[in-house]
Structure 1
Amino acid sequence: MTTIRTQPARVRTDAVTEAVAVAPASGSGSPGVRAGTLRALGAGLAVGAAAYGVTFILVGSQEDGVGRFLIDLTGVAFQLGVFCLLAAMWRTYATGTTRLARTMIVVESVVLGVATIQSLTTLPSLGGEWGTVATVLDPFWPLSMLGMAILGIKVAVAGRWRGALRAWPVVAETWIFVALPSMMLLGPVVGSVVAGAHFLVGYATLGVLLAVRPDLTRR
């Protein structure tokens, strides 16, 4: 004899809700972050860093003129690339989940923003003498790089990024400790080559890693 049920079947809403909450986006390197987003951010970093690194190698020793203008211009491209890196760190909680870890990224973004404004104010000089604003804001360039070095260490300690992607921010963000002494001790020509090469080995490679292996951002 066939019976007709008048009550709906029981649904395990708790289990379904939990499964949806923990399931990462399709192809994502980190829960809630699509792989395509991380690939795009990595590509932005790689392109900006490569442009700056190659230009630094070729004309970094020039103190004015076209060479200096190209350095200033590609410097902006590099800084925009670093913003891509910060966005990837923020979206994947690379520095950790605590308020302090999140605040560190915010503070670095502000310092980098001021440094980028400084770079933009140098462009109208066309490689000539900087104006007052550019000169006053110039210290924010090394400060932003120092901040990135601190973040690189934080990413490695937090351990939310894995494999090479966990270690490479430290490699990339030692630029300030390698490049600046090289330019002071080895002279502008050799120092510029070292500085430019470090951008390629460090930041550009980090961008490629993020673009090719976004899955390494998953804890």
Structure 2
Amino acid sequence: MTISHSPAPARSDVAADALGTSTTTRPFLLHGRVLTVGALTWAGAMAFTGLDPRTDGAAVAFAAGSGLFQVGVLFLLRTLWRTRAIGEGRFARVVLRVEAVAVALAMCSTLADGLGLTNMGQVGWMLLDAFWPLSMLGMFLIGIRIAVAGRWRGVTRWWPLVAESWAVVTIPALGIFGETVGHVVACAHLVVGYAVLGFLVSRKQD
């Protein structure tokens, strides 16, 4: 008779298996969820405050939502780094580092807006505020590179380009159709683009 002993699984193992969130099979689950929550939070805040908040309370809500979205973008950049989504060379690593810095500076602008510190009459604040659109433009270019590189397969190869076209879709919509339509486009695009991308990222494997 053969007797074998198997060690009892650690509590963390049981929890991971029970939730179906093993870091071995879905290492980017947290990254994707943060991106999705951030996109939905910003879209929700924007739906109530508009694109240009008029009151202090609205400004705080808008800053909180957009700030959480920016945190999600940083998690997305970390996923791109770990999967070498835009390439393995030095240039690809530099691009992701530069974009991470741009997003971080945009987050500083968001925080300043929420605290009511921003003064657009001063050059320094204007330059800091510019990192918001610049960071979004950078993500759009990264989305193009993901599609060209082809290291992500299937729908995940193309969906980053859909999500990261937020600025290049929303801004023209505002200019052509006005604030009402632009507002709807901005909110809807976040849900269809970044929120869905977060779901796709959460299911990615190494």
TM-score category, normalised to shorter length: 0.7 to 0.9
Please show how residues 66-215 of structure 1 align to structure 2 within 5 Å: 66-125=57-116, 130-131=118-119, 132=122, 134-211=125-202, 213-215=203-205
Other-structure match for 1:4? none
Tell me the amino acid that sits aligned with residue 59 of structure 2: R
Larger mean Cα displacement after TM superposition, 139-148 or 35-44: 35-44
**RMSD (Å) for aligned C-alpha atoms:** 1.8
Aligned-pair distance for 1:61? Answer: 4.3
TM-score, length basis structure 2: 0.81
The 1:95/1:61 distance shift into structure 2, 3 A limit, reads closer
4+ residue runs over 3 A deviation: 33-37, 132-136
Alignment check: 8 A CA contact 2:59 2:114 kept: no
Contact 1:57 1:197 in 2 (8 A): no
Write the distance in 2 (CA, Å) between the matches of 1:144 and 1:183: 19
- The answer for unaligned runs of 5 or more in structure 2 is 1-22
Contact 2:36-2:198 within 8 A present in 1 as well: yes
TM-score (norm 1): 0.76
Q: Does 1:39 align with 2:18?
A: no
Q: Identity over the aligned pairs, expressed in percent?
A: 39
When Rg is computed on C-alpha atoms for both structures, the one with the higher figure is: 1
- How many residues are paired up? 180
| Offset, 1:60 | 1.5
Tell me: CA distance 1:180–1:36, structure 2 relative to 1, closer, same or farther (3 Å): same
Cα deviation for residue 81 of structure 1 reads 0.4
Counterparts of 2:89 and 2:54 in 1: how far apart (Å)? Answer: 45
- Relative to structure 1, the CA distance from residue 205 to residue 190 in structure 2 (aligned partners, 3 Å threshold; closer, same or farther) is same
